[in-house]
């Protein structure tokens, strides 16, 4: 739901107290048909009551972040320190959670004594292999009952570009102490051989980071393929997944998983976290983002990146059987809470990204998007984008070669707050909404590296307290607002009327007069005062709302009486959401402008039927709130009331049944239809002439309000 509409909806919910309960299924339940969901834990996570219950609720697999590593369990030759590792293993046994063993061999947090003799000289490889064998067998046998897979070797492949050896062949291995002793990859083969000896059933993984970087990906692929072809028992590849909000791209992740799936039957994402800066990987040198406030754009980029990772993994659920987050919450993260890397925040509360990951929509994994995109009706002349296809998908394209990211604030499928565009080779950025958009008009802006701008491809529309871009998704029933050339059209004129509210000033209104108004000099007309929502203004109904076109078509088809429509600024934009605002005061000031200044001005400058029976007030969203407040406060002024996605009337609120001839209440089917239907049935049972309308398949958006005007206008003044 767009930001402004979200603000308005929240306001309304806040105002009218209705809230949808989100289902409380857990991550492991949401993914039970795909793969296990795991988490790396420290001692606090399994001892603290709240944290341990979160672990038990959300996760079906666990990894010891540090406590099963060589230096933690085998700090000295012949000395074993199992306490912390045992506690984690016992927690798994007691709670039926599977345990990933991390890690048997690694160049870091390794028991360095293994490499050296008493005189601190590097030992011979045979000595090293014997010590490795004893370590691996001892650790595996201790946890054979609870560990279902082991990261046998961690991060043996070097980072960076090609490293030709003496024969010019790429030497892919990290020059660790293992490598220095062996001079080749035998130490890796031995480790897997020893692990298989120790536990013929456990799955044995090679685990590494930057595993989607094409150079490193191919090195990992080459090494594992060559070893497997040589009979080395490698069952799976661990993709650590230490990513950031800018990368790797979904395409690179897809390419890596597809490539690894060629040579192994098991792929695990072993250490997933997505930090909000441009660094990635498992290295310990990284910036902690101290004191940096995470922006909404960064949160959205993170949501899109997590959504992309899980989309790829769901597509490969035949090979991917576990995705593990590296730490329980931002508070536990090795990256520090300021890198904001995980679905649970520093207070162990689920972020929106948690819902994006949990409440995924399977159809978005392999969307079948028809490539019949056409420029939107909102495009400026000679502009090709944004485009809309026959299914309602919206595609954006802008040129911003030096941008770091581009987000379109439209396209809210999958619970995300927008569509993240991807950089194309030609320096342009393109992106298609995750899901088809609802039919009708949608506001949006572009955020380019955090700067909110209007899409240069579209006309501008006033919403959200500023001029924005818009995209029009054709509606199956859009004939009622089609610009017909076979009928007479009315006029829309901009008027300036004097006002003393909040200082002496001229205020603006747009006045629609039906076809023939100028010719039929004697005829007088009823008047509808039609209000916009929060963040909008007097241009909203004539432009986004197509109010005059809808009226022209209705009058031409004899479905509505000809009447004047007045659309003025409702002073809603001074409200800053999140800050307490005096609901009464908003309507109060506007009430004076509307009832004490504009109505008299219209009645004295247009041929109106200047009485209550021929005067109506209606509004969308916050304009509906103003209608509710003003019609109840000034029952002598309007005889017809209309609230479009802006609350309801209750019989008790309307002192005298005869004060109103007609009440219209509407909303979208994706809003609160039951409330609207009940309100109108209560009004009818109380003897009011009330009507409800629910716009099928729409939310708090313009097609709801265009259709509502179309229905309401046919009943007004009859």
CB of 470 to ligand G3I, least distance (A): 45
Question: Considering only residues 47, 53, 109, 493, which one is a binding residue for ligand G3I as defined by CB under 6 A?
Answer: 109
Identity of the residue, 101 or 464, whose beta carbon is nearer to ligand G3I in the bound complex? 101
> What is the enclosing helix (H) or strand (E) of 495?
strand 491-499
Identity of the residue, 109 or 502, whose beta carbon is nearer to ligand G3I in the bound complex? 109
Chain positions 4 to 23 lying near ligand G3I, rule: CB under 6 A, are none
- Is 621 labeled as catalytic in the residue annotation? yes
Coil/strand/helix, residue 276: coil
Identity of the residue, 38 or 647, whose beta carbon is nearer to ligand G3I in the bound complex? 38
Main-chain dihedrals φ then ψ at residue 179, nearest 5 degrees: -65, -40
| C-beta separation of 679 from 653 below 8 A | no
CB of 49 to ligand G3I, least distance (A): 22
HSE, side-chain direction, 13 A CA sphere, residue 433: 27
DSSP one-letter code for 557:
T
Question: Considering only residues 284, 291, 486, 652, which one is a binding residue for ligand G3I as defined by CB under 6 A?
Answer: 284
Q: Where are the beta strands (DSSP E) in 500-636?
A: 505-513, 527-531, 564-568, 615-620
Coil/strand/helix, residue 560: coil
CB of 334 to ligand G3I, least distance (A): 3
Which residue of the set 621, 692, 695, 708 is catalytic?
Answer: 621
546 alpha carbon, distance to own chain's centre: 30
CB of 218 to ligand G3I, least distance (A): 20
Chain positions 151 to 170 lying near ligand G3I, rule: CB under 6 A, are 154
CB of 241 to ligand G3I, least distance (A): 10
**Measured distance CA(391)–CA(378) in Å, rounded:** 18
Identity of the residue, 71 or 561, whose beta carbon is nearer to ligand G3I in the bound complex? 71
Question: Considering only residues 26, 43, 95, 108, which one is a binding residue for ligand G3I as defined by CB under 6 A?
Answer: 108
Identity of the residue, 337 or 629, whose beta carbon is nearer to ligand G3I in the bound complex? 337
CB of 65 to ligand G3I, least distance (A): 5
Long-range contacts of 575-582 (CB under 8 A, 24+ apart): 575/11, 575/534, 575/622, 577/7, 577/10, 577/11, 577/534
CB of 139 to ligand G3I, least distance (A): 15
Question: Which residues make beta-bridge pairs with 324?
Answer: 38
Three-state SS letters, 662-682: EEEEEEECCCCHHHHHHHHHH
> What is the enclosing helix (H) or strand (E) of 443?
strand 440-444
Which residue of the set 271, 303, 538, 701 is catalytic?
Answer: 271
- Is 271 labeled as catalytic in the residue annotation? yes
DSSP count for the chain of H helices, then E strands:
19, 29
Identity of the residue, 8 or 244, whose beta carbon is nearer to ligand G3I in the bound complex? 244
Residue number of the CB atom closest to ligand G3I? 282
493 alpha carbon, distance to own chain's centre: 40
Binding mask 180-219 for ligand G3I (x = CB under 6 A): -----------------------------x----------
Give the interface size with ligand G3I as a residue count (CB under 6 A): 11
- Decide: is 66 part of the binding site for ligand G3I (CB under 6 A): yes
CB of 309 to ligand G3I, least distance (A): 17
DSSP one-letter code for 157:
B
Identity of the residue, 154 or 193, whose beta carbon is nearer to ligand G3I in the bound complex? 154
Identity of the residue, 334 or 590, whose beta carbon is nearer to ligand G3I in the bound complex? 334
Which residue of the set 58, 65, 155, 439 is catalytic?
Answer: 155
Question: Considering only residues 254, 271, 297, 661, which one is a binding residue for ligand G3I as defined by CB under 6 A?
Answer: 271
Coil/strand/helix, residue 387: strand
Strands ordered across the beta sheet of 419-420 = 419-420, 406-408, 446-448, 451-453
Identity of the residue, 239 or 300, whose beta carbon is nearer to ligand G3I in the bound complex? 239
CB of 45 to ligand G3I, least distance (A): 12
Identity of the residue, 109 or 681, whose beta carbon is nearer to ligand G3I in the bound complex? 109
- Decide: is 273 part of the binding site for ligand G3I (CB under 6 A): no
Three-state SS letters, 212-239: CCHHHHHHHHHHHHHHHHCCCCCCEEEE
CB of 272 to ligand G3I, least distance (A): 11
Identity of the residue, 230 or 284, whose beta carbon is nearer to ligand G3I in the bound complex? 284
- Indicate the burial class of 377 (C-beta count within 10 angstroms; 0-12, 13-18, 19 or more): middle
CB of 106 to ligand G3I, least distance (A): 7
Strands ordered across the beta sheet of 440-444 = 440-444, 466-473, 461-463
Main-chain dihedrals φ then ψ at residue 379, nearest 5 degrees: -65, 145
CA distances to 152, 306, 310, 350, 418 from 303, rounded to whole Å, are 32, 5, 11, 13, 10
CA distances to 277, 339, 351, 710 from 288, rounded to whole Å, are 10, 6, 20, 56
- Decide: is 282 part of the binding site for ligand G3I (CB under 6 A): yes
Identity of the residue, 69 or 507, whose beta carbon is nearer to ligand G3I in the bound complex? 69
Chain positions 320 to 339 lying near ligand G3I, rule: CB under 6 A, are 334
CA distances to 84, 302, 357, 711 from 26, rounded to whole Å, are 27, 20, 10, 43
Rg of the chain, C-alpha, whole Å:
33
Question: What is the largest distance, in Å, between two alpha-carbon atoms of the chain?
Answer: 113
Residue with tokens 């960076």: 160
CB of 32 to ligand G3I, least distance (A): 27
**Measured distance CA(265)–CA(154) in Å, rounded:** 19
Chain positions 220 to 259 lying near ligand G3I, rule: CB under 6 A, are 240
**Measured distance CA(318)–CA(335) in Å, rounded:** 31
Binding site for ligand G3I (CB under 6 A): 65-66, 108-109, 154, 209, 240, 271, 282, 284, 334
Which residues are catalytically annotated?
155, 271, 621
């Amino acid at each position: 739901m767009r930001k402004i509409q979200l603000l308005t909806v929240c306001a309304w919910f806040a105002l009218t107290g209705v809230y949808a309960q989100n289902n409380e299924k857990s991550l492991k339940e949401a993914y039970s048909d795909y793969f296990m969901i795991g988490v790396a834990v420290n001692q606090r996570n399994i001892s603290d009551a709240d944290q341990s219950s979160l672990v038990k609720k959300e996760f079906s697999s666990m990894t010891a972040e540090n406590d099963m590593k060589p230096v933690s369990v085998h700090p000295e030759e012949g000395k074993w320190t199992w306490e912390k590792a045992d506690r984690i293993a016992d927690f798994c046994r007691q709670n039926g959670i599977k345990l990933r063993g991390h890690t048997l061999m690694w160049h870091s947090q390794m028991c360095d004594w293994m490499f050296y003799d008493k005189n601190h000289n590097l030992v011979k490889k045979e000595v090293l292999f014997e010590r490795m064998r004893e370590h691996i067998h001892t650790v595996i046998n201790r946890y054979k009952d609870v560990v279902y897979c082991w990261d046998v070797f961690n991060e043996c492949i070097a980072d960076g570009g090609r490293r030709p050896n003496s024969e010019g062949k790429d030497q892919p291995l990290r020059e660790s102490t293992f490598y220095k002793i062996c001079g080749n990859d035998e130490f890796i083969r031995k480790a897997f051989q020893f692990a298989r000896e120790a536990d013929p059933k456990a799955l044995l993984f090679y685990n590494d980071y930057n595993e989607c970087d094409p150079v490193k990906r191919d090195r990992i692929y080459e090494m594992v393929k060559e070893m497997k072809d040589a009979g080395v028992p490698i069952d799976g590849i661990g993709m650590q997944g230490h990513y950031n909000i800018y990368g790797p791209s979904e395409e690179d992740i897809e390419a890596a998983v597809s490539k690894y799936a060629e040579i192994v039957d098991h792929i695990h994402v072993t250490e997933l976290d997505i930090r909000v800066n441009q660094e990635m990987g498992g290295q310990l040198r990284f910036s902690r983002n101290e004191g940096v406030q995470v922006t909404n754009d960064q949160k959205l980029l993170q949501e899109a990146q997590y959504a992309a990772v899980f989309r790829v993994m769901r597509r490969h659920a035949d090979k991917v059987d576990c995705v593990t987050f590296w730490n329980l919450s931002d508070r536990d993260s090795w990256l520090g809470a300021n890198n904001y890397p995980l679905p649970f925040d520093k207070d162990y509360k689920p972020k929106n990204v948690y819902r994006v990951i949990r409440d995924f929509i399977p159809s978005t994994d392999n969307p079948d998007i028809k490539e019949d995109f056409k420029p939107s009706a909102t495009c400026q002349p000679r502009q090709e984008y944004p485009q809309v296809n026959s299914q309602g998908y919206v595609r954006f394209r802008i040129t911003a070669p030096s941008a770091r990211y581009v987000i379109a604030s439209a396209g809210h499928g999958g619970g995300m707050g927008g569509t993240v565009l991807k950089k194309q080779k030609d320096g342009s950025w393109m992106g298609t909404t995750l899901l088809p958009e609802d039919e009708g008009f949608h506001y949006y802006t572009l955020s380019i590296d955090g700067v909110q701008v209007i899409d240069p491809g579209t006309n501008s529309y006033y919403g959200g307290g500023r001029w924005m871009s818009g995209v029009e998704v054709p509606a199956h029933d859009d004939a009622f607002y089609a610009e017909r050339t076979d009928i007479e059209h009315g006029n829309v004129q901009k008027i300036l009327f004097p006002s003393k509210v909040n200082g002496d000033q001229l205020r603006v209104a747009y006045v629609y007069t039906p076809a023939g108004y100028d010719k039929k000099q004697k005829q007088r007309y009823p008047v509808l005062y039609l209000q916009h929502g929060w963040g909008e203004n007097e241009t909203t109904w004539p432009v986004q709302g197509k109010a005059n076109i809808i009226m022209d078509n209705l009058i031409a088809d004899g479905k509505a009486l000809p009447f004047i429509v007045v659309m003025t600024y409702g002073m809603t934009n001074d409200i800053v959401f999140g800050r307490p605002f005096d609901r009464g005061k908003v309507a109060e000031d506007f009430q004076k402008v509307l009832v004490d200044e504009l109505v008299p001005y219209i009645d004295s400058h247009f041929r109106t039927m200047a009485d209550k029976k021929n005067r109506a007030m209606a509004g969308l969203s916050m304009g509906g709130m103003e209608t509710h407040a003003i019609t109840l406060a000034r029952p002598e002024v309007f005889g017809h009331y209309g609230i479009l996605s802006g609350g309801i009337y209750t019989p008790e609120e309307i002192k005298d049944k005869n004060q109103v001839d007609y009440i219209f209440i509407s909303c979208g089917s994706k809003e609160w239809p039951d409330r609207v239907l009940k309100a109108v049935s209560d009004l009818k049972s109380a003897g009011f002439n009330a009507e409800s309308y629910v716009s099928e398949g729409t939310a708090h958006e313009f097609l709801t309000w265009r259709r509502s005007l179309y229905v309401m206008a046919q009943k007004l003044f009859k």
